[in-house]
Structure 1
Amino acid sequence: MFIRSTGLRPGRSLLLLFIGISIGFFTTWHLWRSSSLPAFAECPAPQEHEKANGFVLIGIMTAAKYVDSRAFNVWKTWAQHVPGKVLFFVAETTTSIHPDLPLIRLKGVDDSYPPQKKSFAMMKWMADNYMDSFEWFVRADDDLYIKGNELERLLRGLDPSRSHALGQAGLGNTAEYGLLALGVSDNYCMGGPGVVLSRESLRKVSPHLQACLEHLLTGHEDVELGRCIRKHVGVACTWNYEMQALFHNNQSTSTKAYSGSLDEVKSAITLHPIKEPSIMRRVHSYVRISHLNNLREKRAQLLSETSSSPSISLQRNWPSSLQDMSVFDLIDTNRIIFCSDGVNCPRHTLEQRIRGEMGRVVTTLFDGFNENARQRGRVLQFQNLQYGYLRVIPKYGVDYIMDMILWFKKFRPPHRTTLSVRRHAYVQQTFAPLKSISESWMRGTLHGENAHISYRMHIILPLKGRSEIFSRFATHLRSVCIRGEKLSLIVVLYSSPDEADTRKTIDMMKSFLDISIVEMGNESFSRGIALTRGCAHLPDDSLLFLTDVDMLISCDAVHRIQLNTIYKSQVYFPIVFSEFSPDSWSENDRLLADSFHYGRRRGYFRHFGYGLAALYKGDLFSIGGFNTNITGWGMEDVDLFEKAVKSPSMRVIRAPEPGLVHIYHQIHCDPSMPPAQVTMCQGSKAASLSSIDSLVHSLNHLS
Structure 2
Amino acid sequence: MEAVKSDMLEILCTSVSQQLNMTVYAARGVTLGLTLVLLSYNFKLHLMNSEEGCAPNRPFVVQRRDTDETQHSGKSPRLLCWILTQPKHLKNRTASVKETWGRECDITLFFSSLNDSTFPTIGLGFEEKRRNLIKKTMGALRYIFKNYLHRADWFLKADDDTYVVVDNLRHFLKDKDPDEHVYYGSKFRLEDFTYHSGGAGYVMSRKMIRNIALHSKGTQECEETGPEDVRMGMCVKALGGVTGNSTDNNNLEVFHWSSADYFIRGQTDTTPSWVRLRQPFWKSNNKLSEVSVSFHYMMQGDMRALHYLLNNLNVHGYHKPGTSR
Q: Which letter does structure 1 place at the counterpart of 2:243?
A: C
8 A Cα contact 1:187 1:237, kept in partner? yes
Q: Which letter does structure 2 place at the counterpart of 1:272?
A: H
- Of 69, 85, 110, 1:88 maps to 110
Say whether 1:238 aligns with 2:237. Answer: no
Distance in 1, Cα, partners of 2:224 & 2:103: 37
Distance in 2, Cα, partners of 1:282 & 1:207: 40
Q: Which letter does structure 2 place at the counterpart of 1:68?
A: K
8 A Cα contact 1:168 1:244, kept in partner? no
Q: Could you say which residue in structure 1 is the equivalent of 2:194? A: 187
Q: Which letter does structure 2 place at the counterpart of 1:237?
A: T
Q: Could you say which residue in structure 2 is the equivalent of 1:197? A: 204
Say whether 1:118 aligns with 2:136. Answer: yes
Q: CA deviation at 1:120?
A: 0.7
Distance in 2, Cα, partners of 1:119 & 1:272: 17
Relative distance call for 1:265 and 1:241 in structure 2 (3 A) is closer
Say whether 1:269 aligns with 2:289. Answer: no
Q: CA deviation at 1:240?
A: 4.9
Relative distance call for 1:240 and 1:198 in structure 2 (3 A) is closer
Relative distance call for 1:63 and 1:213 in structure 2 (3 A) is farther
> Unmatched 5+ residue regions in structure 2?
1-55, 70-77, 267-286
Q: Summarize deviations over 1:488-531 as a string: whole Å, max 9, x none.
A: xxxxxxxxxxxxxxxxxxxxxxxxxxxxxxxxxxxxxxxxxxxx
Relative distance call for 1:240 and 1:52 in structure 2 (3 A) is closer
Q: Which runs of 4+ in 1 moved over 6 A?
A: 258-261
8 A Cα contact 2:82 2:157, kept in partner? yes
Distance in 1, Cα, partners of 2:308 & 2:290: 13
8 A Cα contact 2:82 2:111, kept in partner? yes
Q: CA deviation at 1:64?
A: 1.7
Q: Which letter does structure 2 place at the counterpart of 1:229?
A: V
Q: Summarize deviations over 1:142-177 as a string: whole Å, max 9, x none.
A: 1111111111111121121222211121125xxxxx
After superposition, where does 1:142-541 map in structure 2 within 5 Å?
Answer: 142-172=160-190, 178=191, 183=192, 186-212=193-219, 216=223, 219-232=226-239, 234-242=240-248, 245-250=253-258, 257=262, 264=288, 266-274=290-298, 276-289=299-312, 297=319, 364=322, 367=323
Q: CA deviation at 1:134?
A: 0.8
Distance in 2, Cα, partners of 1:119 & 1:213: 17
Q: Which letter does structure 2 place at the counterpart of 1:86?
A: T
Distance in 2, Cα, partners of 1:259 & 1:102: 34
**Counterpart of 1:282 in 2: which secondary structure?**
helix
8 A Cα contact 2:187 2:197, kept in partner? yes
8 A Cα contact 2:246 2:255, kept in partner? no
Looking at CA atoms only, which structure, 1 or 2, has the larger radius of gyration? 1
Q: Which letter does structure 2 place at the counterpart of 1:88?
A: F
**Counterpart of 1:124 in 2: which secondary structure?**
helix
Relative distance call for 1:215 and 1:199 in structure 2 (3 A) is closer
8 A Cα contact 2:168 2:291, kept in partner? no
Q: Could you say which residue in structure 2 is the equivalent of 1:131? A: 149
Looking at both structures, which has the greater relative contact order when contacts are Cα pairs under 8 Å and sequence separation is at least 6?
2
Distance in 2, Cα, partners of 1:95 & 1:265: 37
**Counterpart of 1:126 in 2: which secondary structure?**
helix
Q: CA deviation at 1:287?
A: 1.4
8 A Cα contact 2:216 2:222, kept in partner? no
Say whether 1:74 aligns with 2:97. Answer: yes
Relative distance call for 1:218 and 1:121 in structure 2 (3 A) is closer
8 A Cα contact 1:134 1:199, kept in partner? yes
The structure with the largest strand share of the pair is 1
Distance in 1, Cα, partners of 2:144 & 2:215: 14
Distance in 1, Cα, partners of 2:67 & 2:86: 28
TM-score, length-normalised on structure 2? 0.62
Relative distance call for 1:244 and 1:71 in structure 2 (3 A) is farther
Relative distance call for 1:219 and 1:188 in structure 2 (3 A) is same
**Counterpart of 2:153 in 1: which secondary structure?**
strand
Relative distance call for 1:136 and 1:239 in structure 2 (3 A) is closer
Q: CA deviation at 1:284?
A: 0.7
**Counterpart of 1:245 in 2: which secondary structure?**
coil
Q: Could you say which residue in structure 2 is the equivalent of 1:575? A: none
Q: Which letter does structure 1 place at the counterpart of 2:58?
A: P
Say whether 1:46 aligns with 2:68. Answer: no
**Counterpart of 1:246 in 2: which secondary structure?**
coil
Distance in 2, Cα, partners of 1:110 & 1:214: 23
Relative distance call for 1:211 and 1:45 in structure 2 (3 A) is farther
Relative distance call for 1:241 and 1:269 in structure 2 (3 A) is closer
Relative distance call for 1:258 and 1:86 in structure 2 (3 A) is farther
The structure with the largest helix share of the pair is 2
The CA RMSD measured in Å over matched residues stands at 3.4
**Counterpart of 2:150 in 1: which secondary structure?**
coil
**Counterpart of 2:79 in 1: which secondary structure?**
strand
Q: Summarize deviations over 1:249-287 as a string: whole Å, max 9, x none.
A: 2279xxx758979x947431111120x211111111121
Q: Summarize deviations over 1:557-609 as a string: whole Å, max 9, x none.
A: xxxxxxxxxxxxxxxxxxxxxxxxxxxxxxxxxxxxxxxxxxxxxxxxxxxxx
Distance in 2, Cα, partners of 1:280 & 1:125: 28
> Unmatched 5+ residue regions in structure 1?
1-43, 173-177, 298-359, 372-703
After superposition, where does 1:688-699 map in structure 2 within 5 Å?
Answer: none
Relative distance call for 1:208 and 1:137 in structure 2 (3 A) is same
Relative distance call for 1:273 and 1:244 in structure 2 (3 A) is farther
